[in-house]
């Protein structure tokens, strides 16, 4: 089989497989399979059901694995003309890993690993829910910004904990007797204030004790709450919103139809040569028809 014929067969296979994969029936079927697989995992948590229906549950698991394997093969066949594009989609890579590892002997012999792999199949439902997919992508994109947020928050807690230990350790050792106690007190103060759960008990005692030590301590608590509850939270919200916007733009870009690929260079050159040959033959015919006949001499 020539290389040109093989390329033509790959394009036909990709076109037919892509038509199946992009159909609504295929998407609905796979989503129903994932939902049924999740229900099967829930049923297997009941010991009595497992003992009574062990053979049926085992057969159902094998059917699910065969169905998901066929799905991955169809998705791979849809990229037969451009295999590299299959691995550019993170969801394809995730699906391939989840299904392929299930065939590894170590995973099949280890019940815990096998259950985790089967649980990972449930996460594939996000592939068919655009909004959930956007949120998951946004969470991944927000990790670098969230790390910066955590570093800033840790630095803020450390500085204020040291200041609290210096000023309140002797008079309020319960809350500021050590660096760890001070960090815990301020962390709970910040989180409870964020969720509007602060009462006169618990951490309210820490604030009152600080005010009894010195009225100037109001500046300490007010500045910490201002920086911790407003500045850091607004920073985190900004990171999340920016990540959501990037994920939405990425999702919109993936939903655009892929332009048709141009034919290979070799076929284009052959087609161009055929057209040039046809044009030359046409010009020769025109020239032959336009040549004037030589008049006879008298």
The pLDDT tens digits of the residues spanning 105-153 come to: 776 666 677 777 777 777 777 777 666 667 767 777 777 777 777 888 8
Q: How far is residue 139's CA from residue 144's CA, in Å, rounded to a whole number?
A: 10
The pLDDT tens digits of the residues spanning 154-209 come to: 888 899 889 888 888 888 788 888 888 888 888 877 776 555 444 434 456 666 77
Q: How far is residue 248's CA from residue 165's CA, in Å, rounded to a whole number?
A: 46
- Listed in sequence order, the residues at least 6 apart from 160 whose beta carbon sits closer than 8 Å to its beta carbon are 182, 186, 220, 224
120: its two tokens: 């990972």
pTM of the model: 0.53
């Amino acid at each position: 089989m020539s290389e040109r014929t093989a390329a033509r067969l790959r394009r036909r296979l990709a076109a037919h497989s892509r038509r199946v994969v992009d159909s609504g029936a295929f998407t609905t079927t796979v989503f129903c399979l994932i939902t049924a697989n999740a229900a099967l995992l829930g049923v297997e948590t009941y010991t009595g059901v497992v003992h009574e229906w062990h053979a049926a549950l085992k057969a159902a698991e094998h059917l699910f694995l065969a169905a998901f394997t066929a799905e991955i093969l169809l998705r791979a066949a849809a990229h037969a003309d451009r295999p590299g594009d299959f691995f550019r989609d993170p969801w394809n890579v995730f699906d391939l890993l989840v299904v392929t590892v299930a065939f590894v002997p170590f995973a099949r012999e280890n019940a815990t690993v096998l259950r985790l792999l089967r649980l990972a199949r449930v996460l594939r439902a996000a592939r068919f829910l655009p909004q959930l997919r956007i949120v998951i992508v946004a969470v991944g994109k927000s990790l670098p910004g969230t790390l910066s947020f955590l570093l800033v928050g840790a630095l803020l807690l450390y500085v204020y904990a040291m200041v609290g230990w210096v000023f309140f350790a002797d008079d309020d050792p319960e809350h500021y007797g050590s660096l760890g106690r001070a960090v815990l007190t301020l962390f709970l103060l910040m989180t409870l204030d964020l969720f509007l759960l602060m009462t006169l008990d618990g951490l309210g005692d820490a604030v009152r004790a600080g005010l009894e030590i010195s009225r100037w301590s109001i500046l300490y608590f007010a500045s910490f709450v201002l920086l911790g509850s407003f500045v850091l939270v607004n920073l985190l919200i900004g990171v999340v919103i920016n990540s959501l916007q990037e994920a939405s733009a990425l999702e919109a870009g993936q939903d655009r139809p892929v332009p048709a690929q141009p034919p290979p260079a070799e076929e284009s050159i052959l087609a161009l040569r055929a057209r040039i040959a046809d044009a030359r033959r046409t010009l020769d015919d025109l020239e032959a028809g336009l040549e004037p006949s030589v008049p006879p001499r008298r």
